[in-house]
Amino acid sequence: MEYKLTPTCFTPLHISLAQFKRGAKRCFCNIVEVEASPHALALAFSLGTLISLLPTPGLNLALIALLTAVFKRIHKGALVASMGVWNIFVITPMYVLGHQVGTLLVGDTAVLPPLPFADGRIADMGAAFFVGNLIVAVAVTAVSYLTIRLAVSRRRQPMGQEVQA
């Protein structure tokens, strides 16, 4: 009996770009249709963006869970959507960009003092990584707030009317 490897064998991996785009649009529409203000949606998404882009890999899920537990009125769908947008494939180039920005500002020679709970490897990364990624995270957070607020406002407006920011 011969077994042929076909794309249908890998159904979880075989998602076309069109299917992904339709799913993302459906998810965006479901989040936008909720009765929350554009400000609330944009604020939740940008807060999730800030948490996801901070140089704390692995802690972002815990921080977002803590936020949703403490702040009951925060839009959980927008927070989760931000984690979907800022996944490992997108964050990795952002970390590289952040390190380059930090190297321009701080220089590559500055290192952090050893942390009492770390074995020294974290201190070797340097302050440039953390400073640069903090700056990039804040800048991208501001842009994401404005983008989501504008997108939600445009999506909700009746045809033929202008958007007021």
The whole-angstrom separation of Cα 164 and Cα 130 is: 36
CB of 133 closer than 8 Å to CB of 53:
yes
pLDDT of residue 1: 45
Supply φ then ψ for residue 135, to 5 degrees: -65, -45
Q: Tell the burial category of 149 from Cβ atoms under 10 Å away from its Cβ (0-12, 13-18, 19+).
A: buried
Average confidence (pLDDT) per 10 residues, the chain, 165 residues: 46 57 65 74 91 83 86 84 83 88 77 55 66 92 93 74 55
3-state DSSP assignment of residue 108? coil
Q: Is 123 exposed, middle or buried (0-12, 13-18, 19+ CB in 10 A)?
A: middle
The pLDDT value given to residue 138: 95
| Residue-level pLDDT at 117 | 55
pLDDT for the residue 134? 92
Q: For residue 17, what pLDDT is reported?
A: 60
pLDDT of residue 46: 92
Q: According to DSSP H, which parts of the chain are helical?
A: 17-32, 38-53, 60-70, 76-85, 88-105, 121-124, 127-156
- Predicted TM-score (pTM) of the model is 0.69
